Structure formats: structure tokens, C-alpha cells
Structure 1
Amino acid sequence: MGLIKINNIQVYTYNGVLPEENRLGQRLEIDVALTVPIEDLGTKDQLAATVSYADVYTTITEIAQTQQYQLIESLANHISQALLKKYQLIAAVQLRIRKYSVPIAGIFDNVEIEVQVNR
């Protein structure tokens, strides 16, 4: 097994608990790592025989930009489940979501959640 990774996908969303987050929106960053049987897929050298990262990118951004959640944990779970459902070659999804505009009185770069979902 191997990994297909897409790092630092940036989307503008309207997710959050507070009304301001839902009204004003914010930027999220998403990293995804897909566990796939690269040793089998790479021998065919055909896009149709693997998981297209262009299609994965589109799936992630469409969900992030069209669905609205209070929690980024819910967004991560929805994306992970959608990827497993849509791309049968994926054995596991590891997903990280970073949020920068967090209503916490403190000094920090971001908050990040990470999930791993296995088929």
C-alpha cells in the first residue's frame, strides 16, 4: 500500500458555531492522504486504473464549499466518508483540517483536527 497526498487545499467556507462564522465565512486548509494499492496501480500506468487526485480535489472542495457544519470535525467526517464511497480503491483516508479564524481569546496560529477512517 502507498499514499496519495494532496497538501494544503484552501477553501473559503461558512462553517462554525457562532453566527459571525456562518455570516462572514473563513478560510480552511485541508490535507488529505489516501491509502491505495500503489504497487498494483502503478504497473498499469493508466489514470483510469488509479485514483485521480484532480477528482479527489474536486470532491473535497465541492463538499467544503457547499455543505455547512458547525464543527470542522463533522466536515472532516463527511469528506472522509464521501471519498471512501466514491473511490473504491481507497483503503483509508487521513484528513487534517486547519482553521485560523477561531473565536478564542489567545495567541496561536490555528486549530487543527485530524481523522483517519478505514474502509
Structure 2
Amino acid sequence: MDKIYLTNCEFYGFHGVLPEETTLGQRFNISLVLEVDTKAAGISDDVKDTVSYAEVFETMRVIVETERYLLLEALSERLATVILQRYALIAALTVTTVKPRPPINGHFDSVAVEIRRERGDL
């Protein structure tokens, strides 16, 4: 299966367990790997024959910036479910949700959750 990558898409949201996360908000980076048969689009050179990554980006933006979840796992699951439901050409996808600077006492770059879902998982 061919793959379309949307890497390090940056959004600002209010997800988290700690009160300051839901009050102040923070940056989230989302990456997707969309498993799509791109042969028809490669031949036709027409966006109608593939998945518009601009549309997928906007779908992600609305979810991350307007909805609220306690867990990265729940946010990731919501993204996977909505994207699979909206875009019939996607056979499977991997969602990586990164919280670059969570309010945890310690030194590290980020925390992240990665999930993979297939159309049959709906």
C-alpha cells in the first residue's frame, strides 16, 4: 500500500489531565501516515483520485483545537476514527500525537502516543 505523510502538524489545544493544561493550553504536534492506493491519482494527476492532505489537515485542526480530551490516547483515537470515516480511500492510518512540553517535573523532549487503525476497526 502507498503512503501519504503529514508530519509534525502543529496545533494549539487544551488536552490533558492537569488543570493548567486545560486552562492555559499547549502546543501539540500530530503526524499521520495514510495508507492509500495512489495509482489512480498518479495516472490521472487529479486530486479527486486521492486524499487531499489539505482537507485532512483541516479535519485534524478542528478536532485538536475545538475538542478537549484528558488523554493523548483519546485524542489519537478520535483523530483516527474521524479521518477513517471521512476519507473512504484510506485503508489504514497511523496517528502520532506529541505533547512537546508537558508540565511534568523532569527533563525530556516530549511525550507521545502512536496508534494504527484500519478501516475494519470502525
TM-score (norm 2): 0.93
The SS at the match of 1:91 is strand
Q: What amino acid is the match of 1:51?
A: V
Q: Does 1:47 align with 2:51?
A: no
**What is the Cα deviation at residue 109 of structure 1?**
0.4
Which position in structure 1 is the counterpart of 2:9?
Answer: 9
Instruction: List 4+ stretches of structure 1 deviating above 4 A.
Output: none
Which position in structure 2 is the counterpart of 1:35?
Answer: 35
Which position in structure 2 is the counterpart of 1:64?
Answer: 64
Provide the C-alpha distance between the structure 1 equivalents of 2:7 and 2:101, rounded to a whole number of angstroms: 20
Gap regions ≥5 residues in structure 1: none
Which position in structure 1 is the counterpart of 2:92?
Answer: 92
Provide the C-alpha distance between the structure 2 equivalents of 1:79 and 1:4, rounded to a whole number of angstroms: 16
TM-score (norm 1): 0.96
Provide the C-alpha distance between the structure 2 equivalents of 1:16 and 1:40, rounded to a whole number of angstroms: 41
RMSD: 0.9
Gap regions ≥5 residues in structure 2: none
**Deviation per residue, 1:5-25 (Å, 9 max, x gap):** 111100000111111110000
The SS at the match of 2:30 is strand
Aligned length: 119
- What fraction of aligned residue pairs are identical, expressed as a percent? 39
Which position in structure 2 is the counterpart of 1:25?
Answer: 25
